[in-house]
Amino acid sequence: MSLERLTLERRQVWLYLTMITAGLLVGSAWPDLGRFFEALLWPILIVLLYATFTQVPLLHLRDAFTDHRFLAAALTGNFLILPVLAWMLVQGLPPDPALRLGVLLVLFVPCTDWFITFSQLGGGNTARAMALTPLNLLSQLLLLPVYLLLVMGNELAAVLGLSDIWPALVVVLLPLLAAVTSEYWITIPERRVVLRERLAWWPVPLLALVVFLVAGAQVGAVRGALGQLAVVVPLYVLFLLLAALSAKGLTTLMRLPADQGRTLAFSLGTRNSFIVLPFALTLPSGWEIAAMVIVVQPLVELFGMVFYLWWVPRKLFR
């Protein structure tokens, strides 16, 4: 990864904050643009997910199984411990199903892209991080409906059916299939790999555009939900602390080396916010807070990663 891209990814939180502010200002000044922003949001999300998925080695899934202890720790942490932890944390939130759904959506799914960058910056095992990403991606797509059915089955079914979420399924599955096809095409011949490197620059500016559009389209919902948004920020901070401590416990239990423990901490601490954003955007009127809390989460997470980069290699896994 180039130094320029590392610098961009380390400072991306300020870009997102700027774009959210700009979106709120534009949405307040010209509220009629809301429908245009909502229409533009979907194709931008497709391109964003495609650019992100191309960075996941989807054709190298079996590489994840080369280290069974690390794999067991990562799967146990991401798909057993953290979902239970997320469910426990939302019990302290106001009894608003839309608010709780948004938090659960984003905390249930582990990151598949920038946690590799933070693992590299934090002295983790980058090879293990890259090998884990395709398994994390496929597992979350399969398990997310199961988790939501278990914790919010009746409430969710009352407002959302399969006919309502098909646009979100298309937005996620279409770029995923395109990325699988692209990966095969890019690697044969190998000189096309430069295309993947160019696509790796896209997610940060595209996500900045997405948060601008969401803020501009939902400015009214944001104003009405400021109090609720403030409630979820401490929850996300607590989640970051508990995720890292869970990684420490799993690393000790599985007797992993320190570099793999750091990678595990960054994997458990980072979430896949924009893969669940399309599903939140399909929710009916009155449930806009779900999308808002999903947009807020990566901002808290990125500040948390600044702390992680000091805490994880210097204190937690020396």
Percentage helix, strand, coil, to 5, in the chain?
85, 0, 15
Tens digit of each residue's pLDDT (9 = 90 or more) over 213-258: 999 988 887 777 777 888 999 999 999 999 999 999 999 999 999 9
Residue 191 has pLDDT above 60, yes or no: no
Q: Assign 3-class secondary structure to 14-25.
A: HHHHHHHHHHHH
Return the SS3 of 30: coil
> In this predicted model, which residue has the larger pLDDT, 138 or 10?
138
Among residues 128, 101, 112, the alpha carbon closest in space to that of 291 is found at: 101
What are the structural domain ranges in the chain? 3-316
In sequence order, what are the beta bridge partners of 110?
Answer: 271
CATH number for the domain whose boundaries are 3-316 = 1.20.1530.20
Alpha-carbon gap, residue 27 to 220, rounded angstroms: 9
Confidence (pLDDT) at 66: 84
CA gap 249, 243 in Å, rounded: 10
| pTM, entire model | 0.91
Least confident of 54-58, 142-146, 166-170, 192-196: 192-196
Q: What is the tens place of the pLDDT at every residue in 11-25?
A: 788 889 999 999 999
Give me the amino acid identity at 254.
Answer: M
Mean pLDDT over residues 174-199, rounded?
76
Reduced to 3 states (helix: H, G, I; strand: E, B; else coil), residue 225 is coil
Average pLDDT, the chain: 88
List the structure tokens of 311.
């805490």
Instruction: Give the span between the Cα atoms of 50 and 55, in whole angstroms.
Output: 9
The span from the CA of 178 to the CA of 189, in Å, is 18
Residue 242: the pLDDT is 98
What pLDDT sits at residue 198?
Answer: 78
CA distance 209 to 199: 16
pLDDT at 190: 60
Residue from 288, 143, 131, 154 nearest 225 by CA: 288
Q: Report the pLDDT value the prediction gives residue 167, as an integer from 0 to 100.
A: 80
* Cα–Cα distance, 64 to 130 (Å, whole number): 8
Query: Quick check: 155 pLDDT over 80?
Result: no
Q: Is the pLDDT of residue 195 over 80?
A: no
The reported pLDDT for the residue numbered 87 is 95
pLDDT score of 55: 83
Query: pLDDT grade, residue 193 (50/70/90)?
Result: low
Span 55-76, pLDDT tens digits:
888 777 787 788 899 999 999 9
